[in-house]
Structure 1
Amino acid sequence: MRKSKQEAAETRQRIVEAASSEFRRKGIGGTALADLMAAAGLTHGGFYKHFDSKDQIVEESLTLAVGSLVEAVESKLSSASGDRGLHAAIADYLSIEHRDSTADGCPFVALGSELSRSSDGVREATTSGFLNLVDVIAARLDGKSPAAAKKEALVILSTMIGALTMARVVTDPELSASILRQARKHLTQ
């Protein structure tokens, strides 16, 4: 029995959502197509009915993950006016909860080294998502020219991504918490 176009679209979206979490949890190389299809509640054989390649699902799942991250940052930014909104976004990103939420957390942290070796399409999606996030942060940096705000946003975002990455990498829980705390302190002074 053939599925309707709507059912096929819903199935495809379910696969993208499952892949987004699985890739962040296990890495791109560590996630077989069978794994992500199982996470979506489907069999491996149906993958190629929806996607041409693993790169295509990586790109689409990355776009979804970055979109969720941008929405979360925008929500925190708009939760308070001025610097308080930016500080709330930084505190949320550089939190123990975000550090420990690998499957739902920042895709740049979870997949950074793999994304740097991915196809041009995946790297373009990564670049686009990163620049979108830079623009969201830059828009909240009052009193600066657009060029100066963008430069500062690049530093803020790069510091956040680097701090969260190292907080996940180190084995000492106290050091991990200190990395997050010191980065928050530095960015919110």
Structure 2
Amino acid sequence: MTKGEETKQFIIERAAPIFNTKGIAATSMSDIMEATQLSKGSMYVHFENKDVLACAAVDYNMDLLQDKLGKVLEKSKSYKEKLLTYIDFFSDPNRPPVAGGCPILNFGTEVDDTNPIIRQKVLLVIKQAQQLLSEIIKKAIADEELKAELNPADFAIAVFAMLEGGHLMSRVSGHNDSMKAIVKTLKNLIEEYST
């Protein structure tokens, strides 16, 4: 990595949690300059404007979330265990795996009507998450851990939507009561469909 590439990466790493916590609209270049201790000139050498930096920060946050999830899922010994691990990974929204909360929810909620480029980035991650869940469920069915009557695509959507909804409710309320109920419900459903 060149010195310029290192500086650019440093800016993204420092900016990512700020954008994820404050939101794109509320984050200023001054916030980023304060976090990086770089001058405005240095910032604009690497990023044409705040929108370009925001796109890079969104990508970084999404990649960080997926990397952390992937590492946790790798430790699971079966596909049913992977499904339960996925649920547990998102079970404490007030101590999220990425600083500032779930970037899918944070950025998706903010940009759904305002930023088509980031909206597409979020939509892609949502589709990837649902595909991952669907594949895990299909493999659990193939390994006879879950009953064949469980529809992988539909259950993947339900799991994803319930966890994201629980995340929103827990972050707004400041406690995890809603998420605990959601996790319990999902795990009970998995047990009902277990062989």
TM-score tier, shorter chain, comes to 0.7 to 0.9
Q: Which residue is equivalent to 1:106? A: 102
Deviation at 1:92, TM superposition (A): 2.2
Q: Which residue is equivalent to 1:73? A: 69
Give the residue type in structure 2 aligned to 1:11: T
| Conserved 8 A contact 1:55-1:122 | no
Q: How does 1:155-174 map to 2 (within 5 A)?
A: 155-171=158-174
Deviation at 1:104, TM superposition (A): 5.0
Q: Which runs of 5+ in 2 are unaligned?
A: 143-147, 189-195
Give the residue type in structure 2 aligned to 1:186: T
1:153 is the counterpart of 2:156: yes
Q: Deviations over 1:62-118 (max 9, x none)?
A: 1111111112222222222121222122112112xx423462531023333212133
Give the residue type in structure 2 aligned to 1:46: S
Q: Secondary structure at the match of 1:117?
A: coil
Runs of 4+ in structure 1 over 4 Å off:
none
Aligned equivalents of 1:77, 1:28: Cα separation in 2: 30
Q: Secondary structure at the match of 1:118?
A: coil
Deviation at 1:11, TM superposition (A): 0.8
Q: Which runs of 5+ in 1 are unaligned?
A: none
Normalised to the residue count of structure 2, the TM-score between the two structures is 0.81
| Conserved 8 A contact 1:134-1:154 | yes
Give the residue type in structure 2 aligned to 1:76: V
Aligned equivalents of 1:120, 1:113: Cα separation in 2: 12
Normalised to the residue count of structure 1, the TM-score between the two structures is 0.83
Number of equivalences:
177
| Conserved 8 A contact 1:66-1:129 | yes
Q: Secondary structure at the match of 1:143?
A: helix
Percent identical: 23
Q: What's the RMSD between the two structures over aligned residues? A: 2.1
Deviation at 1:26, TM superposition (A): 1.4
Q: Deviations over 1:15-48 (max 9, x none)?
A: 1111210011212122101111321231223222
Q: Which residue is equivalent to 1:143? A: 141
